[in-house]
Amino acid sequence: MSIVKSKIRTIPDYPKPGILFRDITSLLIDPEAFRLTIAMFVERYQNQGIQKVVAIDARGFIAGAALAFQLGVGFVPVRKKGKLPGKTISEAYALEYGVDHVEIHIDAIEEGEKVVIMDDLIATGGTLEASIKLVQSLKGIIHECATIIDLPDLGGAVRIKEKYGINVYSICEFEGH
């Protein structure tokens, strides 16, 4: 855990002043730390009957695809609006100013399939919440949500647990925004 955390680089004032951007590219470039990150997710989700890994555009795809490969299960992308070519359903989520949408192919998950939803980081939880709604609309069963990083001061994981009864597992936490 501390090895993974120590490899995440913080870039102040990106993408705007006041934001501390938690950059996973410095983790991904380190083969041992990258392997360890994926190994922690694999250990947690193997032998749990997971049938699909659902991951969020775009940084969620990195660990999500590696986890799906290691578990030997399908990978499902949740993408930003307008990127998926087939028939989709869509969910809005709040941005600091305005709203955006995430989408999933309607045939990506079968009723009753057990899934894990992954992103790189949970802050307010808005992006994960929209993805939870998409999976639930397709009648998938969400085993857990998983991120590399949690920003607990923003309360996203607690809110998701309270609202949906779904646990959010994160490898490490950073204080602040």
Q: Which residues bind ligand AMP (CB under 6 A)?
A: 19-22, 56, 59, 119-127, 156
Which region, left, alpha or beta, applies to residue 21 given φ > 0 means left and ψ of -120 to 50 means alpha? beta
96 assigned to active site: yes
Pick 91 or 113: Cβ nearer ligand AMP: 91
Catalytic residue among 22, 59, 79, 91: 59
Smallest distance, ligand AMP to C-beta of residue 72, A: 26
Tokens of 137: 């609309």
Location of structure tokens 């609202």: 163
Smallest distance, ligand AMP to C-beta of residue 129, A: 8
Pick 80 or 139: Cβ nearer ligand AMP: 80
Catalytic residue among 9, 79, 91, 96: 96
Smallest distance, ligand AMP to C-beta of residue 123, A: 3
Q: What share of the chain is helix, strand, coil (3-state, %, to 5)?
A: 35, 35, 30
Smallest distance, ligand AMP to C-beta of residue 174, A: 8
3 vs 18: CA distance, rounded Å: 26
35 assigned to active site: no
Location of structure tokens 């998926």: 84
Strand partners, 78: 56
Pick 64 or 156: Cβ nearer ligand AMP: 156
Pick 52 or 59: Cβ nearer ligand AMP: 59
Contacts of 141 (CB under 8 A, 6+ apart): 112, 113, 114, 115
Active site residues: 59, 96
